[in-house]
Amino acid sequence: MKLVLFDDFRPGVLDGDAVCPIDELFDLKGAAHPQDRIVEVIVRFPELRPAIEAHVAGGARLPIGEVRLRPPLPRPGKIVCARANYREGSDREPWPMDAFLKSPEAVIGPGDTVVLPERRHDVFHHEAELAVVIGKEASKVPAESVMAHVFGYVGFMDVSARKGIGRPDGASFLGKSYDTFAPLGPAIVTADEVADPHVLQVRYWVNGELRHDYNTSDIEHGVPEFLEFVSSVMTLYPGDVVAMGTNHQQIGPLQHGDHAVLEIDGFGRLEVDVVDPLRRTWARQVDQEIATKVRQSLVVPDASSAP
């Protein structure tokens, strides 16, 4: 099932080219923030699934073109991002697992706009990623059982400003945390629809030109191992997002006027626009310097120079 928030952050099920509202099945009056609405859906989903399915089969439907899709997780409790987590053709020893937090306030949704900050940075990069949506509280959960805590998956763009903020070595999460730097969507795909999260093709276009085109089978630390690791440090809660990292071989710049599209097998398309008040420009191509460095294991990418 594909869960969305639409219009005034109403929960719904995306079914083909239509959205079926499901808000009447839930008591959402206590939801102070739109995020609380989707968390309520996530938490009660196992119990209400049969009712939701019956409702979708017989209920009202709104054509997708007549609604405004919102980010399905408008303000996750936290966004945990894997750092440099793909093999990328290297035969090196696996890097140790590492992660950083990205600001939950950075989330935007389908059709929204990434706004580049006026602060001077070397470049602004796109990173296309598979992200996990947590369904059940998870603290110190071993890999063998942690998948029971996964609610589903979502497409995620880890927009990244390189250098320019924090210490000169660039090792700051702040370049990842500008408002609008976390496009997410279009829907939460429930875990039962993803038999194996490690066989998904991830594609990303900028102005119709294919950039990222990689398979999650190339991942270094897979979902169970990585969630075990993260939950050994911090408790994960329903609606939290854990992004699995990107493949750096097709990273490129984002700049004013760009239209970016992310598509993961079976997830639908997430499209956003990019605006830069300063109209800075970079070569519209894959950044070969970062791709080569990561491929040759010359760097363990840090938070702002390349995860």
Residues contributing to the site for Mn ion (CB under 5 A): 127, 158, 246, 307
Work out how close the CB of 130 gets to Mn ion at its nearest, in angstroms, rounded to a whole number: 11
If the CB atoms of residues 41 and 99 are measured against Mn ion, the closer one turns out to be 99
Radius of gyration of the chain (CA): 19
CB 262 within 8 A of CB 253: no
Work out how close the CB of 226 gets to Mn ion at its nearest, in angstroms, rounded to a whole number: 13
If the CB atoms of residues 34 and 307 are measured against Mn ion, the closer one turns out to be 307
Work out how close the CB of 42 gets to Mn ion at its nearest, in angstroms, rounded to a whole number: 24
Q: What phi, psi does 174 have (nearest 5°)?
A: -65, -35
- List alpha helices for the chain, DSSP H: 34-58, 143-146, 223-231, 288-295
CB 280 within 8 A of CB 255: yes
Work out how close the CB of 127 gets to Mn ion at its nearest, in angstroms, rounded to a whole number: 4
Q: What phi, psi does 249 have (nearest 5°)?
A: -70, -15
Q: Which residue is nearest to Mn ion (CB)?
A: 158
If the CB atoms of residues 5 and 84 are measured against Mn ion, the closer one turns out to be 84
If the CB atoms of residues 13 and 242 are measured against Mn ion, the closer one turns out to be 242
DSSP 3-state of 221: coil
Q: Strands across the sheet with 259-264, in order?
A: 113-115, 268-275, 259-264, 201-206, 209-215
Work out how close the CB of 26 gets to Mn ion at its nearest, in angstroms, rounded to a whole number: 33
CA distance 264 to 246: 13
If the CB atoms of residues 52 and 200 are measured against Mn ion, the closer one turns out to be 200
